[in-house]
Amino acid sequence: MTIDPLTFVGPDIPSAGDLRNCIHCGFCLPTCPTYVATGHELESPRGRLHLIDAVRDGRIDATARVLDHLDLCLQCRACETACPSGVPYGRIMEDARASILANAPSDQPPTWRLRALALRQVVAKPRVLRLTLFPARIYSATGLQSLVRRFLAPRLPSAFSRLESVAPDLRRRPFRRRGNLARPAGATARVALLTGCVHGEFFPQTHVATIRTLAAVGAAVVAPPTQGCCGALHSHAGDAEAARDLARNNIATFEQAGVDAVIVNAAGCGAAMKEYGHLLDEDLLWAERAERFAGTVQDITEFVASRIDQLDRSALGELDADVTLQDSCHLAHGQGIRDAPRIILDAIPGVRLEEMATPDRCCGSAGIYSAVQPAMSADILEAKMTDIEGTGASVICTANPGCTMQIQAGVRRRGLDAGVQHVIELLDESLELGRNPIGLGTIPAAPAEHAEAR
């Protein structure tokens, strides 16, 4: 299929200035998971930038083959960290996808259009999302999921087995609370928590741990009821208009909350919200507000690490655990935050951090990537799991729900005796142990996945 006309259209055409910043040095090549996996130039950031530039100038057609090369990109942004010229690759890729989606013929919808439709009509609508997840909750609650994983998974076709292994366990009660969530005595800050779209449905315990930890460092916590999806998945899928609508809603909602900071415990969501300024830079009514709002967004590890001295260290229980940290791509590369999660882990008594060889290499999750590119996602995960195994860690910490799901799948596939948790969950374990010093304070190798959120 050829997109007609042959060049990008719409308000999101990749900037020629951004594209021409690439000096083709190749520093990005060894950091790109898809290039490492394939060795193909067109599966590298440099190669994809060349394709985007050629389509933009009308030198090549935006054929299905060209789009496939773009579609295989994880948008992990490791290339941005490696690039000596400061090429904003993530922005270029999102703009390119948005331009393609805006120009796709409606009678022959590409895969990207179908994804955008699902994200608009399901993920961004809480009631529809809950209804859609109901069969999955039954699948988990009846024990069928455990039976399938124990007895049938090895016999399923590889594609189905991979997809099932990434599915979260939904036996926990979802987190849907709004309003005032924590009012610690003597609070020195008031913050708002982004509860997100799927995060509270898949990992409610992360929200609970976040609220308790924020209270422990002296922050009152609210969750404005009219907040919604951050739009990160929509931007990645090329649906910039839906992402803009979601951004405007969140900006207005959090402005009215009157808080010192907007706290996000999903690295991908935080990266997207910190870039609302670019997303709405052509909207005269919202551009300035978006830029100002973006400055209030902080990752939970960023906020807690900056206030770690306000934490009563004597209140922390000792955890006997060898821990390794997966630097979530949109935290390390998208937001440039690497030290904060390590500062938090270093503050937990008994935690021994065992670094991977490449802790900031993508795990292959990348939003919906594991569902739409399962084969490449699985290859990238295999490399990551080998790296993880080499640390000998019994606890794998992340800072993003997608990473947690993906690495949990890798742990199951390899039969490892290891648990996967958000960094803040581990800190909350220590705080809870300090409050209730029962037992030896040893983290179990595989934390129970089915306990109710506290």
Checking if the pLDDT of 439 tops 60, the result is no
- Cα-flanking dihedrals φ and ψ of residue 287, to 5°? -55, -50
Distance CA 237, CA 119 (A): 9
User: Which residues in 316-330 are b (16+ Cβ under 10 Å) and which e?
Assistant: bbbbebbbbbbbbbb
pLDDT value of residue 376: 92
Checking if the pLDDT of 105 tops 60, the result is no
Phi-psi region of 24 (alpha: psi -120 to 50; beta: other; left: phi over 0): left
Domains of the chain: 16-108 (1.10.1060.10), 114-166 (no CATH), 179-304 (3.40.50), 312-435 (3.40.50)
pLDDT value of residue 438: 60
Strands (E), 231-378: 261-264, 297-299, 321-325, 351-353
Helices (H), 10-143: 16-20, 33-38, 45-56, 64-71, 78-82, 89-102, 111-118, 126-141
Q: How confident is the model at residue 453 (pLDDT cuts 50, 70, 90)?
A: very low
Query: Which of 93-97, 106-110, 430-434, 442-446 bottoms out in mean pLDDT, i.e. has the lowest?
Result: 442-446
**What does the pLDDT average to over 278-284?**
93
3-state secondary structure of 388: helix
Question: Of 136, 116, 85, which is closest to residue 238 (Cα–Cα)?
Answer: 116
**What does the pLDDT average to over 73-101?**
91
Checking if the pLDDT of 207 tops 50, the result is yes
pLDDT value of residue 209: 97
Q: Which amino acid is at 119?
A: L
Contact 338, 308 (CB under 8 A): no
Distance CA 375, CA 238 (A): 22
Checking if the pLDDT of 342 tops 90, the result is yes
Residues 6+ apart with CB under 8 A from 341: 301, 305, 325, 327, 331, 397, 399, 423
Checking if the pLDDT of 306 tops 70, the result is yes
**What does the pLDDT average to over 148-153?**
79
Contact 277, 242 (CB under 8 A): no
Question: Of 99, 95, 93, which is closest to residue 7 (Cα–Cα)?
Answer: 99
Cα–chain-centroid distance for residue 364?
11
Q: How confident is the model at residue 238 (pLDDT cuts 50, 70, 90)?
A: confident
Checking if the pLDDT of 173 tops 60, the result is yes
pLDDT value of residue 315: 85
Checking if the pLDDT of 135 tops 70, the result is yes
Checking if the pLDDT of 256 tops 50, the result is yes
**What does the pLDDT average to over 144-150?**
85
Tokens for 152, please give them.
């049938």
Distance CA 259, CA 276 (A): 18
Question: Of 95, 100, 7, 83, which is closest to residue 45 (Cα–Cα)?
Answer: 83
Distance CA 421, CA 287 (A): 36
CB atoms within 10 A of CB 11: 14
**What does the pLDDT average to over 269-274?**
96
Percent of the chain with pLDDT over 70: 92
- What is the total residue count of the chain? 454
Percent of the chain with pLDDT over 90: 63
pLDDT in tens, 151-168: 777 777 777 777 777 788
